[in-house]
Structure 1
Amino acid sequence: MIELRAPTVVDLTPIYEFLGSRTTQAWLDAAISNLPLIIQDHANCEKKAAGTAMNLMFRYEFSHDLQRKLAQLIREEMLHYEQVLGIMEERGQEWQHLGAGRYAKGMLKHKRTYEPAAMIDVLIIGAFIEARSCERFAALAAIIDDERLAKYYRYLLKSESRHFEDYLTLAQSLSKDNIDERVAFFKQVESDLITDPDSELRFHSGIPA
């Protein structure tokens, strides 16, 4: 059993303003009807986030501030991964193979191929993934019948809600120019992935087709 402290109320206004769209009722209905899938894909997301941060640590060792932020992020993401595994065990849920959806790949295909632009794009994409995760934690927590799971999603908001800003700060620190134009570009890309029909249900998928 995971010990959870009472979650702090988190102002999600910056996240809602950062994202280009909100989660649709159609996705929420599908998610509630397929909670085991959503829970396991959430675990996959935490593991992938930690892995991505670890890869960035090895690839971009020149930035001490980046190294510190990524080390903290890895610890938090792996803790969350372990916690979600615990929730699966509590629910008697077996691990099943679950392929990746289109979401992250749909943004990464627009990543520039030269440095430091590639790194800046990866960090901006990371910001959108983290912000969308928070938006969906909040949306699910508000309607889910499983109070244990709802409490956990609310608990995650405190730590996860600052990750997108950390990513943006790091991205700007690597750029001589303002990154607002690039952020606006990925804001539209990410919004389209969330609001367009999607053949696969995942934690970050679009409208169920």
Structure 2
Amino acid sequence: MNLELLLSPVNDFLHCSTPLAWREQARKPENLSLLLNDHLICELKAAQTGMFLVRKYVADKETSETLLALLRPYEVFAFSDGPEPDFLALHKALSKKLMPKTQGDWEQALIDSMLLLIKEELHHFWQVREIMLARDIPYVKMTASRYAKGLLGQTRTHEPLMLIDKLICGAYIEARSCERFAAIAPYLDDELSSFYLSLLRSEARHYQDYLSLAQQISGSDIQERVKFFGELEATLIQSPDDTFRFHSGVPVSG
């Protein structure tokens, strides 16, 4: 894998790199459990986002309920102290056969890209969970950082502008995930470093898929909104943050 070639468009898209203070905090062994727990939930939330977009903007009621039922075991595990989800069962069940038939180009593009994203994010969820189990790291529910809420709180409130803004936010979240995986990898042991580097390709593609969908749906240039959210995202990353998470800002304490 040519990391420089892969990360170059990601870094060009983002308006800032991860601050050194975050990297220094992330490299501390005592924070590994926190980061893995937060990473686990980030993967689930990414899958939830893809599922939400399909259900809200494309799926009929029956398909929507079927998709929701497939994701529910993960949500029950993560938020309601439920049993371990059966990853293989969901991975096999989640296929294009479940997806609604659509005539529109952007609707089909949304289905195709989000189906792949959901499957990949849930695969990453299970990979993180396996690492935690192998290292005897317990799953602990944690509060979310301000990051995603800070971005999504600035989306416009009428369609299709809301959808376009949500997709742009999704692009920044995925791009930042990619950048942070690369940032943290050099500080980890060989197994974890290899794991995080293995995630870069899919995360880099996810941000491009989100951005492409936003442009396709808009029909007009979206660069003004891309810039708006890029500046907002950089502010969240570069400003002091009293909650240390995978997507948090500059830690306020050591």
* TM-score (normalizing by structure 1): 0.94
Which residue number corresponds to residue 110 of structure 1?
Answer: 154
Which residue number corresponds to residue 165 of structure 1?
Answer: 208
Larger relative contact order (CA 8 Å, sep ≥ 6)? 1
Are positions 1:149 and 2:212 aligned together?
A: no
Larger Rg belongs to? 2
The 5 A counterparts of 1:45-64 are: 45-61=42-58, 63-64=107-108
Which residue number corresponds to residue 27 of structure 1?
Answer: 22
Gap regions ≥5 residues in structure 2? 59-101
For residue 158 of structure 1, give the secondary structure of its aligned residue in structure 2.
Answer: helix
How far apart in 1 are the matches of 2:202 and 2:153?
28
CA deviation vs aligned residue, 1:17-37 (integer Å, no higher than 9, x gap):
100100111101111221111
For residue 162 of structure 1, give the secondary structure of its aligned residue in structure 2.
Answer: helix
Gap regions ≥5 residues in structure 1? 1-7
CA deviation vs aligned residue, 1:51-94 (integer Å, no higher than 9, x gap):
11001101111611111111111000000001000011111100
How far apart in 1 are the matches of 2:132 and 2:24?
21
Which residue number corresponds to residue 194 of structure 1?
Answer: 237
Which residue number corresponds to residue 36 of structure 1?
Answer: 33
How far apart in 2 are the matches of 1:76 and 1:109?
26
For residue 115 of structure 1, give the secondary structure of its aligned residue in structure 2.
Answer: coil
Percent of aligned pairs sharing the same letter? 47
Which residue number corresponds to residue 138 of structure 1?
Answer: 182
How far apart in 1 are the matches of 2:179 and 2:128?
18
How far apart in 1 are the matches of 2:250 and 2:215?
32
How far apart in 2 are the matches of 1:89 and 1:41?
15
Aligned residues: CA RMSD: 0.9
Are positions 1:184 and 2:227 aligned together?
A: yes
Which residue number corresponds to residue 208 of structure 1?
Answer: 251
Q: Which amino acid in 2 is paired with 1:158?
A: R
Give the helix-richer structure, 1 or 2.
2
How far residue 42 of structure 1 moved from its aligned partner, in angstroms, is: 0.7
Are positions 1:13 and 2:4 aligned together?
A: no
Which residue number corresponds to residue 127 of structure 2?
Answer: 83
CA deviation vs aligned residue, 1:138-192 (integer Å, no higher than 9, x gap):
0111222x11100000110121111111100000011022000000000000000
For residue 27 of structure 2, give the secondary structure of its aligned residue in structure 1.
Answer: helix
Are positions 1:120 and 2:171 aligned together?
A: no
How far apart in 1 are the matches of 2:246 and 2:37?
9
Which is further off, 27-36 or 184-193? 27-36
